[in-house]
Amino acid sequence: MGSVRWAFRCGTWTPSRSEWLFAARCVQREEKDRIGQFVFARDAKSAMAGRLLLRKLVHDRVGIPWSEIRLDRSPRGKPYLAAPLKVGTDSVPEPPSWSFNLSHQGEYAVLAAEQGMQVGVDIMKITMPGSSSVPEFFRIMTRQFTAYEWSVIQSSGLEHQQLAAFYRHWALKESFIKAIGTGLGFNLQRVEFHLPPEPLSQKCALRQTKMLLDEEEEGDWVFEESLLDADHHVAVALGPADHAGSSRLRPPPPPPPTSFTLLSFSDLIASASPLTEEDPACWDSFKMKAEAPQRQRETRASE
């Protein structure tokens, strides 16, 4: 069984003209056009990194040539591999299919993939509320957590520790929602997480967190938690591929990876091959997005 955990630091990535143009040639045309529609450079970078992460996964682990990879989106926007490669024969069954999921927030884009299991991933950066105090922010978010979860969050210490606990719970809930593909209609109070006493680490993933669904513990689901750095928490949800049966009928999931592997841009494109001709306008559009914040600062300074 295969397991992949990759991260790419989008926040500090300042692509050169040649890098951006080459990256744009290595994704599907409709994805390149979609990336070009983002208003902010940071969102365009995160989206580009996500597509390259997905294509690298399919090429490296599924074994499909880069030029033959076709990624589509579900009605809810979740990417999936269209027309997956069939490698089984009458005598040798196909290996379990890969499930994968992306998330980006703060400085990073992350990908989690697993063979033979559902997977969802969410990354959250610990940030202070922009327009309200921490108590007011928590009041606004009251309905997203159970009374037990709020008791854990609000008893975590000072405000920064409370925010860290808040975002940890939020990432866990989002990872589960993304794994099952339910979307915004799911009542988040249906799921309740019970955290272990062990602190999170950048070196290895914890798997002791338990989830209650409608007040019943879900033994079929496993949750990995780790830190990319002091401010970025990642949760990965792993569940049975068929939604049914008992975990006692399945072998336990593989040991968790020691951590997310941080990839460079060179890693992302190591196996890439261009799909389209170079489009200089793609760089011009991105450059304008990247320079916009500086122009805004200069305008405010001159006023």
3-class SS at 14?
coil
Measuring CA to CA, how many Å separate 95 from each of 2, 80, 252?
A: 10, 17, 17
- Helix, strand, or coil (residue 120): strand
Distance CA 177, CA 75 (A): 15
Q: Is the pLDDT of residue 4 over 50?
A: yes
Tell me which residue of 62, 60, 84 sits closest to 71, measured CA to CA.
Answer: 84
CA distance 291 to 286: 9
Give the model's pLDDT for residue 249: 47
The encoded tokens of residue 110 equal: 């992350």
pTM for the model stands at 0.89
d(CA 161, CA 173): 19
CB-based contact 271:60 (threshold 8 Å): yes
- Average of per-residue pLDDT values in the chain: 88
Helix (H, G, I), strand (E, B) or coil at 127: coil
pLDDT per residue as tens digits for the range 80-134: 888 654 544 454 456 678 999 999 999 999 999 999 999 999 999 999 888 789 9
Tokens of 138: 């928590």
Residue 203 pLDDT > 50, yes or no?
Answer: yes
Please answer whether residues 100 and 119 qualify as being in contact, where contact means their C-beta atoms are separated by less than 8 angstroms: yes
CB 64 within 8 A of CB 119: no
Q: What is the pLDDT of residues 206-264, one digit of tens each?
A: 999 999 999 999 999 999 999 999 999 999 999 998 643 344 445 566 666 778 999 99
What is the C-alpha separation between 90 and 105, in angstroms, rounded? 44
Other Cβ atoms less than 10 A from the Cβ of 272: the count is 18
